[in-house]
Amino acid sequence: MHALYLDQTLDLREDYPAPVPPCGEALVRVTLAGVCNTDLELVRGYMSFRGVPGHEFVGIVERCDSAPEWTGARVVGEINAACGQCETCRANRPTHCPHRTTLGVAGRDGAFADYLCLPVVNLHRVPDSVLDEAAVFVEPLAAACEITQAVHIKPTDRVAVLGDGKLGLLCAQVLQLTGCDLSAIGRHEESLGILARRGIHTTIAPKDLGDSSGLYDVVVEATGTPEGFAAARQLARPRGTVVLKSTYNGAVEAKLTMVVVDEVTLVGSRCGPFEPALRLLTRKLVDVTPLVRARYRLSDGLAAFERAGQRGALKVLIEP
């Protein structure tokens, strides 16, 4: 099959072995996949990943011997494949299974290929009303939904989202639904305009946070940069909460003394629930279409990655 293969450098393979689904897994024909910042970081060496990247996808189940009723279903899939037997899995924490593989990120080939394999328990059917171009956003939208799984955000809370990239824009739309006093802080007027048109207050990130310091009950850090972490800490009030929504490639220097003095809660937030994300798309409570900037065939996958790495690219899609 065709696949984008990463081994220090990213290359297009036309002869990559098609996967054979083991017992309990389904073979999925990928119809559309999305490039995210994690994919770009993998190419730069994050996680020392070797294989086919890509974890945001929608596809059709071509084969599933252990559950043939799934054959022909249009699906999205949770990316963490747990062992299902360890103490962590038995405690219903499969996304933290110490033996897990992660689609296109760790130990498992991903979605920038004609086919992929995932456990049947990871699959979710996509409603007919949700187009592929929207369904491909389910994984990052679920990650945005995870914020409200972990933190109780009240309508009276002042909340800031730092970062106007793909994830930041999704987080802001999800948090708007809580009725909180929400502000989105970023650096790109075009990206922030997507949120402003939905009635979300937006601000171009100032060089000096000034009067905004200590203003917010909850700050969502979605930049994945050391500067973003420092700004999030400065914006959070004493006994406020900082949600770290992006991974960091490399070390981050942090003045933790004032985290202790101000009793600030730091919350790491990663993958999230797919069913709520699908409901948001089905009910059109979140709009993902303005985030799409380009669409490439898999044969032009290298150009897709180059486009995705450009400033303000937002979402780039790859179609096998």
Q: What is the CATH number of domain 3-137+288-319?
A: 3.90.180.10
φ, ψ for residue 295 (rounded to 5)?
-140, 130
- Indicate the DSSP class of residue 4: E
pLDDT at 206: 83
Q: Which of 221, 217, 182 is CA-nearest to residue 200?
A: 182
CA torsion angle for 160, 96, 264, 142 (degrees, to 10)? 10
Closest CA to 108 of 97, 86, 206, 204: 97
Burial class of residue 266 (count of CB atoms within 10 Å of its CB; 0-12, 13-18, 19+)? middle
Reported confidence tier of residue 207, pLDDT bands at 50, 70, 90:
confident
- Percent of the chain residues topping a pLDDT of 70: 100
191 neighbors 312 (Cβ within 8 angstroms)? yes
pLDDT tens for 241-296 read 999 999 887 889 888 999 999 999 999 999 999 999 999 999 999 999 999 999 99
Residue 213: strand, helix, or coil: coil
Please state which architecture CATH assigns to domain 141-268: 3-Layer(aba) Sandwich (3.40)
Domain range annotation of the chain: 3-137+288-319, 141-268
pLDDT of residue 208: 77
Each residue's pLDDT tens digit, 112-152: 999 999 999 999 999 999 999 999 999 999 999 999 999 99
CA distance 288 to 302: 24
Gap between the Cα atoms of 202 and 225, Å rounded: 20
The neighbour count for residue 289, using CB atoms within 10 Å, is 11
| Separation between Cα atoms, residue 279 and residue 173, nearest integer Å | 14
Q: Check whether 65 has a pLDDT greater than 80.
A: yes
Cβ count near 207 (within 10 Å):
5
What is the per-residue DSSP string for 84-136?
A: SSSHHHHTT-GGG-TT-EEETTBEE--SSBSEEEEEGGGEEEPPTTS-HHHHT
Q: Cα separations (Å) of 26 from 20, 34, 200?
A: 9, 20, 40
Our CA dihedral for 51, 52, 54, 59, rounded to 10 degrees, sits at -140
